[in-house]
Structure 1
Amino acid sequence: MVRHTTLEQFTDHYTKRPRTDERDPALLVPDAVGVVLETAATWLGWDRRPVLRDGNTWTPHKALRRVADHLLDHLTELECRLAGLPSPADHWHGRMVTTDADLAWFTEVDLDEATSRLTRLATCYRARLGGLPADVLDERPDEATWTLREVVHHVAGVAYYAKAMGPLGTPD
């Protein structure tokens, strides 16, 4: 395991509230997942040389791991909030580490598995957020807590991980 970003840098990034707009929150995550999978389709034949960007090492497996972890983490947050339950703390190492598994070849089977996993997670977001009224999406339980709309706009940024890896064959 290799640590690239300090915990302080990572934490600072998540203290800023995301910008929101009038787009349908139920479509934001599925649209972002579409971008991720479109980019991931270019990674077949990856030469196993990591990409260095934004103070991190990126590989196809790491980018897709981060997308899935991010979607799962915030889906748990949304579901717990709507159910009136505390959300369990996450203990992801996130993009701060690159594991041995992240350095594996990226094959058609890997792309198929990622497509299934990420499409199902995106469908959960669409199903959960579809039809939620604006007052629920914009409720702020306290000043430190993001609204559900802010959370969803933040989650829609998962395309960052695919962009960090970049399409295969493009210069850094």
Structure 2
Amino acid sequence: MTDTAPVTTSVTAPATPARHVTAMVDHVLALAATWTAWDGIPAPVDDRVYTPHKAIRRVADHLVDHLAELESRLAGAEPQPDHWHASAITTTADLAPFTAEDLDEARSRLTRLARIWAHRLDALTEEQLDASPGEGWSFGELARHLNGSTYYADAVGDLS
């Protein structure tokens, strides 16, 4: 897959919790479509540095982390804390060139994660979205929080 069109939903979709997640992934993948032109120099942002691979890693990790939280809370279990180093580290893999194949992998990975999120959120009642079980943000707030994952892709930016 080599086109650069968004792969999840239209821009005019209503701002449902699921839409917050799918819109974020659309935004990330639209930027990622330009990253095969990356010059190999990490972008310093705030007190961290970002690369195309790091941005994709962080978005995917953020989606997985909060999905595990949501599912644990729905099951009445205590969410397992994550032990990732998050943005604090830049791995050797993060510094690799970002190829067309990497873009294809990112599209597959992030699109599937967004669809899992969308299906899960759409299956919840309004009460579950607003008064979610367990401690932490409501599931609606969690979806809006995930929208902030655009930060990682924005750190790399549009490289076209």
TM-score per shorter chain, which class?
A: 0.7 to 0.9
Alignment length, in residue pairs?
147
Q: Find the counterpart in structure 2 of residue 94 from structure 1.
A: 86
Structure 2 unaligned spans of 5+? 1-13
1:151 to 2:150 alignment? no
Q: Report the aligned-residue RMSD.
A: 1.5
User: Following the alignment from structure 1 to structure 2, what is the Cα–Cα distance between the partners of residues 166 and 45?
Assistant: 11
Q: TM-score, normalised by structure 1?
A: 0.81
Q: Find the counterpart in structure 2 of residue 110 from structure 1.
A: 102
Query: Would you say the 8 A contact 2:73–2:133 is kept in 1?
Result: no
User: Following the alignment from structure 1 to structure 2, what is the Cα–Cα distance between the partners of residues 140 and 45?
Assistant: 43
Q: TM-score, normalised by structure 2?
A: 0.87
Between the aligned residues of both structures, percent identity stands at: 52
Structure 1 unaligned spans of 5+? 1-21
SS in 2 for 1:106: coil
User: Following the alignment from structure 2 to structure 1, what is the Cα–Cα distance between the partners of residues 123 and 117?
Assistant: 12
Deviation at 1:71, TM superposition (A): 0.4
User: Following the alignment from structure 1 to structure 2, what is the Cα–Cα distance between the partners of residues 63 and 36?
Assistant: 9
Q: Find the counterpart in structure 1 of residue 157 from structure 2.
A: 166
User: Following the alignment from structure 1 to structure 2, what is the Cα–Cα distance between the partners of residues 148 and 75?
Assistant: 10
Moved over 6 A (4+): none
1:19-38 matches, within 5 Å, as: 23-38=15-30
1:53 to 2:45 alignment? yes
